[in-house]
Amino acid sequence: MTAERMAYQQVAAERVADGVPAGARVADGVVADMRVQECLDAAVARLRALQHEDGWWKGDLATNVTMDAEDLMLRHFLGVATAATDTETARWIRSQQRADGTWATFPDGPGDLSTTVEAWVALRMAGDDPAAPHLAKAAGFVRSAGGVEKARVFTHIWLALFGLWAWDDCPDLPPELIFLPSWAPLNVYNWACWARQTIVPLTIVSAHRPVHPVGFTVDELRSGTPSSQKSSQKRSQKRPLRTLEGAFQRLDVALNAYTRWGPRGPAKLVRRLAMRRATEWIVARQEADGGWGGIQPPWVYSLIALRLMGYPIDHPVMAAGLRGLDGFTVHTQTPDGPARWLEACQSPVWDTGLAVAALLDAGVPADDESVLRATDWLLAEQIDAPGDWQVRRPGLVRGGWAFEFANDGYPDTDDTAEIVLALRRVAHPEPQRLRKALDDAVAWTTGMQSADGGWGAFDADNTDTTPLKLPFCDFGAVIDSPSADVTAHIVEMLAAEGKAGSDECRRGVRWLLDAQEDDGSWFGRWGANHVYGTGAVVPALIAAGMPPGDPVVQRAVRWVEEHQNEDGGWGEDLRSYVDPAWIGRGDSTPSQTAWALLVLLAAGTRSEALRRGLAYLVDTQRADGSWDEPHYTGTGFPGDFYIGYHLYRLVFPIWALGRYVGSIR
């Protein structure tokens, strides 16, 4: 304990002795500040306890049961399912069903049609009786929501793999796309990295049109509407031929016929070469952990595609892929017995960077043993390998960080910026080694700036919206456009590195100013939602030299204060991505409260809103130093896919509490 903290606590103790109630809230001054310090100390102790002996942190990354349903279906398709994996996966899926029979994409969210369809099919594969109450309820919901006919394209592809949906009613993805040069529309590098890694194997699947029959149908899920022969609502609505969407719809019809009847003559040879090239592309991008991109979608589709191309299950590439999926499996207990669920991704690099920053904000010494262990682990994770980002930036120095344990092909600017912000404050015993790593990271991140002045997460200038017009694209973001949260983190990093006056930083600031919403907030691409975006941008603008009294900042502060909940916290429901009525509204959560507090602290306010927000964190802290956060506050694809980062509930409150305590010392 520092001398300053000891003196501070002595003053607080004297006030308690003078009759100030020990349970006073934050508004009660010094005693309340002591409670903030105690809250912070407990949270730091909890975070320390969660560090792995190798130096990293990783919280569980929760999503929804499509991950588990697709894992079960994948194993059946590949012929590697076991009674144990079926039983434990089905048990988990059942445990996540709500009382109305549905499954959602986030806790307390509305029932989701496609998620419920996939869960129903997976449970049928596991042996559940369709007449059982839980499946009957699910089927009733599906029919009332328009039936399996209105499920998303990905769901229809999974059904087609098992003969439960017609391949003709799925959008066609020709493998010949792999031959398109990087300057051509719809070439694979015009898709976001997560989308291109999914699209390439799906072109092989689409060309093969495999069917692995199962002993049931999905008749119980059909609505019987006239649109029942169409793959999705988007495809069933015929667009004018003069529009790009209309042209792609007609092209899709032609491609389906082309694939159905099979290429002839030279076209057959071209297709064969395309599939071989696509296969080589996939194999070349397998990561050290056996996966692809560190995320579930390209991983499972790559395994299916390679199997279709003749790779046996015991081939080293296939065996490594299946072993890697086992490493993404979380084993848990439900009231009905042991269960297993699959993480869609793992976030150790991201979590560790955030944890180091949190500890330093909390006043932990810069040469603390925990900080140094984490720093050494992160330095070993810095990427000096080629990647797809070089298609747009071929001459750029390497030096970024990825999100996962093993994802050397796809470092991202967001992780890299946050890690630089953390590690630049570390008193490392090898300062030159650390400085070299940081300089490379700054150069790489700066060079990934897009032409409009903002930054996307994985690629530069990945802004061509042509893929969005395809019949295939009815789920998730498929391009990696610049976002306010990522751009803000990089602007803050550049300012911390003394580059606030650089052209890159100034262009980034201009991008952020242009992106401010009319209400004073910023949209959050990777976190929920405007609370996250605003919590990232305001500290960045202040760091870059904007005065706290600037109207841009004050509008943001007003927005934050106006959206505080009665309990003193902040929350924003994930429905805000599709329904503006939810913007800034939702049950309070620790992480979102911390993001709002970061705005107020950066702006230098000492308002009642700040005091009430701090009180919320103090009053809701668990005995173990952490917080409960049943709601998801992370975003994968706005409107479609959401994430519960289990470490957010701890690291971000530490950031906010630590910055507050630092401001009053």
Specify whether the CB–CB gap between 468 and 479 falls below 8 A.
yes
Tokens of 289: 């952990």
Give the number of other Cβ atoms within 10 Å of residue 25's Cβ. Answer: 17
**Quick one: which of 413, 491, 419, 490 has its CA closest to 458?**
413
Distant-in-sequence, close-in-space partners of 408: CB < 8 Å, separation ≥ 6: 287, 288, 383, 385, 387, 402
The label of the residue with tokens 């434990």 reads: 88
**Residue by residue, what is the 3-state secondary structure of 123-146?**
HHHCCCCCCCHHHHHHHHHHHHCC
Residue 443: half-sphere exposure toward Cβ, Cα within 13 Å? 11
What whole-number distance in Å separates Cα of residue 544 and Cα of residue 23? 39
**H-only helix segments in 333-430:** 348-361, 369-381, 413-423
Q: Find the catalytic residue in 86, 289, 351, 414.
A: 414
**H-only helix segments in 28-152:** 30-49, 66-78, 83-95, 113-125, 133-144
Specify whether the CB–CB gap between 541 and 512 falls below 8 A.
yes
What whole-number distance in Å separates Cα of residue 6 and Cα of residue 2? 6
Tell how far CA 287 is from the center of its chain. Answer: 19
What whole-number distance in Å separates Cα of residue 116 and Cα of residue 634? 21
The secondary structure of 556-588 as a DSSP string is HHHHHHHT--TTS-B---GGGGT-GGGTT-S--
Residue 501: half-sphere exposure toward Cβ, Cα within 13 Å? 1
What whole-number distance in Å separates Cα of residue 135 and Cα of residue 430? 60
414 among known catalytic residues? yes
Give the number of other Cβ atoms within 10 Å of residue 168's Cβ. Answer: 15
Strands (E), 417-558: none
Tell how far CA 165 is from the center of its chain. Answer: 30
Q: Which residues, listed in sequence order, are joined to residue 295 by a DSSP beta bridge?
A: 345
Residue 150: half-sphere exposure toward Cβ, Cα within 13 Å? 15
What whole-number distance in Å separates Cα of residue 385 and Cα of residue 259? 37
Residue type, 481: S
**Quick one: which of 448, 361, 364, 365 has its CA closest to 401?**
448
User: Rounded to the nearest 5°, which phi and psi values hold at 570?
Assistant: -130, 150
**Quick one: which of 367, 465, 376, 455 has its CA closest to 415?**
455
Specify whether the CB–CB gap between 492 and 417 falls below 8 A.
yes
The label of the residue with tokens 């072993």 reads: 323
Distant-in-sequence, close-in-space partners of 313: CB < 8 Å, separation ≥ 6: 78, 79, 80, 307, 319, 322
Residue type, 342: L
What are the residue numbers of the active site? 414
